[in-house]
Chains A and B, each alone.
Chain A
Amino acid sequence: MTDTPSPATMKVNHGKPPPWRNISMVWLFPLLALAVTLFIAWRSYSDQGELIHIEFENASGVAAGETTLRYRDVVIGTVDAVNFSSDLSKVVVAARVDKTVAPYMDSESQFWVVRPEVSAEGVSGLTTVLSGVYIEGTWDGTPGEQQTRFTGLESRPLIDNNGNGTRVTLRTADGNIMSAGSPVFYRGVQVGRTESPKLSENGSVVTVDAFIEAPHDRYLTTATRFWDTSGFQVSFGADGLKLDVGSFAALISGGVAFNTFFSGGEAIEPGQDYELYPDEATARENAFARVSANTVRMSTVFEDGVAGLAPGASVIYEGLKIGEVETIAAFMNDAGRDLQVQQMVSLRIDPQLMGLDADATAEDVYDFIGAAVEDGVRARLQRANLLSSSLIVELVEIDDADDATLDLEADPYPKIPSVTTDFQDINATLEGVMKRVNSLKIEELIAQATNTLASIQAVATDEATRAVPGQITALLGDARNFIGGEDTQAIPGELRGTIAELRSTVAEINRQGAIAQLVQTLENADATLASVTATSDSLPPLIEDLRALSAKVQGLPADEVMNAATGFLDSADRLIDTEQARNLPSSVSAALEEVRTILADLREGGAVENANSALASAQGAAQSLETATADLPELTQRLDALLARSERLIAAYGERSDFNRETLTMLREISAAARTVNSLAREIERSPNSLLFGK
């Protein structure tokens, strides 16, 4: 310590430099940390997405934090919370959606919960069985006025407003044929769907909105006709019996088809109104009426009756429809000698249907018809078809027609000359046809058809058939619950535990040499059974003795009989009393017990190959047992017989002395022992396996 330099007063600079010179670079780190934290906060805020609220009647399966919101099957958000509306009438689902998608959610947006669904059109939403339900949304691709409150639909909208296509309105008198989601076909290909039928305001018409997907909507023109394709259609006409069946889906839920029979229709606006015709033929016939904007009016006068002719009836030229009847009016013709009632029929002719341009003028038509009339074309009435009484107007070339011209001056429209029709002719033909028809077995046909339809109806209306979709849905729900259940999810863990235990058990078994032990035990059992056999072998001579004894007993006086019987019973007693006989059951059962224990262990271990070898040994043992026991039933029978005889004898002996009682007891014991052996033998015969596996 003495060498320690004396403490020098140290100069410590206490002067304070300006604070900024002292600022350490290390302060960058808090700034960096702050920046990172702010960045994280900003990112999570911007990732958070817009909060929207969707009201549902039923939000079964929707869970906060788990259920996703999807657009075109891509996850765009997650449900944040599930609450009730203020009056508890609805469920309000709050969800966060991606900010890039949110601007597209406008008043047109639709949301629905996707669940597993089974219907006539197929199975959908199966993926939700595993993953749980999700909310699907649809909206168009143009950002509109953004909205954050929506009303959810009960099910997938039939018409996806995000898909391109055209919506049209169909008008029909009967909404029965339609149901929501019915397919719309074009030439047999499904190109759209219908919504639910709605009643018009005054209740007179049913309207159904249908959506035709792009690009098929380009087939829609003002000339397009829609008709109903639901169910069957059986028609009987000149071309025979015809059965029309649409698709299966259409059969169940109804369907609509459309086609454009005539060119020249104009492009339509969305929301165009169409009439829905009951069938294709009607639609085709009515194609004309609303096609032509440009029609030319003409007239013709018939002298004979026009009963059966109605406004709207076709005007046919060379088999083609070129127009229709507009009005029918009767007037007095006083030009001749006497007054005559004539029928003036005004016609509307569509030049386009005659092959003229769509914008052909009336003069072009007059020229055309006029030329035809010069060649002998006349108007005449004709039946619409063989079976109906309705009439059409036909322009037909008459070979020996009187000269006539198109009367351009006629009032009010140019007049086409007409000829009378000889309906007799037609009637005769008709009669022949009717006769032929008569001979057809229509009743049978119809009865059969009725039966078929009834069967189909029975199947369709059967409660079971109807319940099927519901049951499947319930089943799927159950499956989902099952898979999602905590128990099920815990299974892999338990399984692993079990396998580990199993493994250790097997190892234990292997270690302890259990198999060797088992084999040895089985060998022991074998030996025991061999001794059983030996014992059984020694029994028959005894039986012989017994027989002899019985014979003697019968022939001897009572005292001797008794002595002999006593001697026999003593010897029998001794036999049963021998160690060997007594130990037999217990040693067998002990051996079996051992076998069973080891097998039980083995079974737990599940070592199949070990079990197989053990089974082979056991089989051998069981076989020896079987052979050994084969003799037992006989022995038992004999014992029984002896017993019966002895009993009779003893009964004859009289009073129930002590000796008597003892003898009886002993005999019963023998009998019981015999039965036990017997039942053991049967048991072993019946199911050798019980030896191995216990009962």
Chain B
Amino acid sequence: MQVDDLENAGNPTPLLTARQAGLVACTGCGRVHEQGVERCERCGAHLSSRDTTSLQRVWAWWFAGLIIYFPANLYPMLITNTLGTEYKNTILGGVIELIDHHSYFVAGVVFFASIMIPVGKFIAIAYLAYSVRHRATMSDHGRQVLYEVVEFIGRWSMIDVFVVAILSSLVQFNFVASIHPGIAAISFALSVAFTMLSAQSFDPRMIWDAEEAATE
């Protein structure tokens, strides 16, 4: 509420939304149109005042990402063949092994990018989607920031997948050493992709709708 007060400083009327003005804004380029226009005249994006299926899609992608996140953590990410011996490493196993080899920095990066970020994203998206329909303790503005952070940071989880992809294409020395991606690599990439789609499906305008409904 404090944030709103600051934004509306010197303005006695509450903030006017496009919807209240009978307009619909393009989410792609930001141009506003009259109600009832189907497509943006500037960029051709589909227009809708509120995406009614947004929440549903958020949850659908969220569940898809969560389900596929299990094999991503339980199955080997990297399969390393060295002199006829096969080693399989899961994500967490790889982190532990890196710590054993005293590569704390790399271990930290992998842990952050592959475990902290995905898990954090799950929690954040679930919280955002939940807070649209229920009372949230976090301020609207805070949630807006949270949403932006989630959308921005999501792609960085792919760093692990890139490492696996590069290693398995570079390290192919037949008997001496070779690296192959495991099931977890694909699962993890899918999980990241699904959560990114989930975050994108979320219509942040709903954060503010809820607030309005509460003040009305």
Interface residues of A (CB under 8 A from B): 4-5, 7-8, 10, 12, 22-24, 26-27, 29-30, 32-34, 36-37, 40-41, 44, 66, 130-132, 483-484, 489, 492
Q: Are A22 and B53 in contact (CB under 8 A)?
A: yes
Task: Tell me, rounded to whole Å, the shortest Cβ–Cβ distance linking A146 to chain B.
Answer: 28
Residue from B56, B75, B84, B190 in contact with A27 in the complex, judged by beta carbons closer than 8 Å: B56
Chain A residue, CB-CB nearest to B58:
A26
Question: Once the chains are docked, how many angstroms separate the CA of A23 from the CA of B60?
Answer: 10
- Chain A proximity mask over B39-52: 1 for CB below 8 Å, otherwise 0: 00000000001001
Question: Which of B22, B56, B57, B190 interacts with A33 by CB under 8 Å?
Answer: B190
Q: Which residues of B contact A34 (CB under 8 A)?
A: 67
The answer on a CB contact under 8 Å between A40 and B63 is no
Interface string of B63-93 (1 = CB under 8 A from A): 1110110110001000000111110000000
Contact across chains for A29 and B64 when beta carbons are under 8 A apart: yes
Complex interface: chain A residues within 8 A of B56 (CB): 22-24, 26-27
Pair A41/B71 contact, Cβ less than 8 Å: yes
A36 touching B68, Cβ below 8 Å:
yes
Q: Report how far A463 CA is from B85 CA in the complex, Å.
A: 38
Q: Nearest B residue to A8 by beta-carbon distance?
A: B22
Min CB gap A670→B, angstroms: 66
Instruction: Please name all residues of chain B whose beta carbon is closer than 8 Å to the beta carbon of A66 when the two chains form the complex.
Output: 85-86
The contact sample of 17 A-B pairs, CB cut-off 8 A, is: A5-B21, A7-B20, A10-B35, A12-B19, A26-B57, A26-B61, A26-B201, A27-B60, A29-B61, A30-B61, A33-B63, A37-B67, A37-B68, A37-B71, A37-B187, A44-B75, A66-B86
Which residues of B (185-212) have their CB < 8 Å from a CB of A?
Answer: 187, 190, 194, 201
Residue B16 is within 8 A (CB to CB) of chain A in the complex: yes
Please state if B64 and A40 are interface contacts (CB–CB under 8 Å). no
- In the complex, which residues of chain B have a beta carbon less than 8 angstroms from the beta carbon of A37? 67-68, 70-71, 187
Is B183 positioned at the interface, with any CB of A under 8 Å from its CB? yes
B-chain residues with CB within 8 Å of residue A36 when the two chains form the complex? 68
B 126-152 contacts with A by CB, 8 A: none
Instruction: Collect the chain B residues with CB atoms within 8 Å of residue A492's CB.
Output: 176
4 new A-B contacts, CB < 8 A, other than A12-B49, A29-B60, A44-B75, are A27-B60, A30-B61, A37-B67, A37-B71
Say whether B22 contacts A130, CB under 8 Å: no
**In the bound complex, CA of A300 to CA of B94 (Å):** 95
A132 partner residues in chain B, CB cutoff 8 A: 85
Q: Report how far A37 CA is from B63 CA in the complex, Å.
A: 12
Interface residues of B (CB under 8 A from A): 16, 19-22, 35, 49, 52-53, 56-57, 60-61, 63-65, 67-68, 70-71, 75, 82-86, 176, 183, 187, 190, 194, 201
A24-B53, A34-B67, A37-B67 as given contacts; A7 in contact with B16, CB under 8 Å: yes
**A24:B57 contact, CB within 8 angstroms:** yes
Asked if A10 and B22 sit within 8 Å, CB to CB, the answer is: yes
A29 touches B75 (CB 8 A): no
Closest B residue to A32 using CB positions: B64
Cross-interface CB contact of A10 among B19, B84, B176, B190, cutoff 8 Å: B19
Would B67 and A30 count as touching, CB distance under 8 A?
Answer: yes
Query: Top 3 nearest A-B pairs by Cβ distance?
Result: A30-B63, A33-B64, A30-B64
A5 and B75 within 8 A (CB): no
Bound state CA distance, A252 and B18, in angstroms? 102
In the complex, what distance in Å separates the CA atom of A36 from the CA atom of B35?
42
Contacts of B85 in A (CB 8 A): 66, 132
Contacts of B16 in A (CB 8 A): 7
In the assembly, what is the distance between CA of A37 and CA of B82, in Å? 29
Q: Which residues of B contact A24 (CB under 8 A)?
A: 53, 56-57, 60
Shortest A47–chain B CB gap in Å is: 11
User: In whole Å, how far is A361's beta carbon from the nearest beta carbon of chain B?
Assistant: 72
Q: Which residue of A lies closest to B52 (CB)?
A: A22
CA distance in complex: A33, B84 (Å): 34
B19–A33 CB distance below 8 A: no
In the complex, what residues of A have CB within 8 A of residue B75's CB? 40, 44
Cβ–Cβ < 8 Å partners of A483 in chain B: 83
Residues of B within 8 A of A5 (CB): 21-22
Quick one: which of B21, B64, B71 has the most chain A CB within 10 A?
Answer: B64
Query: Closest residue to A44 on the B side, CB-wise?
Result: B75
A57 CB to closest chain B CB (Å) equals 26
Separation of A489 and B173 alpha carbons in the complex (Å):
14
The complex places the Cα of A36 from the Cα of B20 at a distance, in Å, of 45
Q: Chain B residues near A12 (CB, 8 Å)?
A: 19, 49
- Interfacial chain A residues near B86, Cβ < 8 Å: 66
Chain A nearest Cβ from B158, distance in angstroms:
18
A36 vs B194: C-alpha distance when bound (angstroms): 14
Question: Which A residues lie within 8 Å of B49 (CB)?
Answer: 12
Distance between Cα atoms of A579 and B82 in the complex (Å): 68
In the bound complex, what is the Cα–Cα distance between A41 and B183 (angstroms)? 11
CA distance A37 to B35 in the complex (A): 44
List residues of chain B with CB within 8 A of the CB of A27: 56, 60
Chain B residue numbers with a CB within 8 Å of A32 are 64
Interface centre among B35, B60, B201 (most CB of A within 10 A): B60
Q: Which residue of A lies closest to B70 (CB)?
A: A37
**How many whole Å from B36's CB to the nearest CB in chain A?**
11
A32 vs B22: C-alpha distance in the bound complex, in angstroms?
Answer: 40
Q: How far is the CB of B64 from chain A (nearest CB, A)?
A: 4
Q: How far is the CA of A669 from the CA of B12 in the complex (A)?
A: 112
- Nearest CB of A to B91, in Å: 16
Given the complex, which residues of B lie within 8 Å of A7, measured CB to CB? 16, 20-22
CA distance A63 to B85 in the complex (A): 11
**B68: A residues at CB distance < 8 A:** 33, 36-37
**CB-defined contacts of A130 to chain B, threshold 8 Å:** 83-84
Assuming the A-B contacts A23-B56, A33-B68, A33-B190, are A489 and B83 also in contact, with contact meaning beta carbons closer than 8 angstroms in the complex?
yes
Q: Which residues does chain A contribute within 8 Å of B53, judged by CB atoms?
A: 22, 24, 26
Across-interface contacts of B64 in A (CB, < 8 A): 29-30, 32-33
**With a CB–CB cut-off of 8 A, which chain B residues contact A30?**
60-61, 63-64, 67
Q: Which of A7, A44, A484 is the most central at the interface, judged by chain B CB atoms within 10 Å of its CB?
A: A7
Rounded to whole angstroms, the CA-CA distance of A492 and B20 in the bound complex is 71
Nearest CB in chain A: distance from B102 CB, A = 15
Q: Are A29 and B194 in contact (CB under 8 A)?
A: yes
Which residues on A sit within 8 Å (CB–CB) of B22?
A: 5, 7-8, 10
Chain B's nearest CB lies how many Å from the CB of A352? 62
Q: Give chain B residues whose Cβ lies under 8 Å from the Cβ of A26.
A: 53, 56-57, 60-61, 201
Q: Is the CB of B83 within 8 A of A33?
A: no
B49 smallest CB distance to A (angstroms):
8
Contacts A33-B68, A36-B68, A37-B67; A131 near B57 (Cβ below 8 A):
no
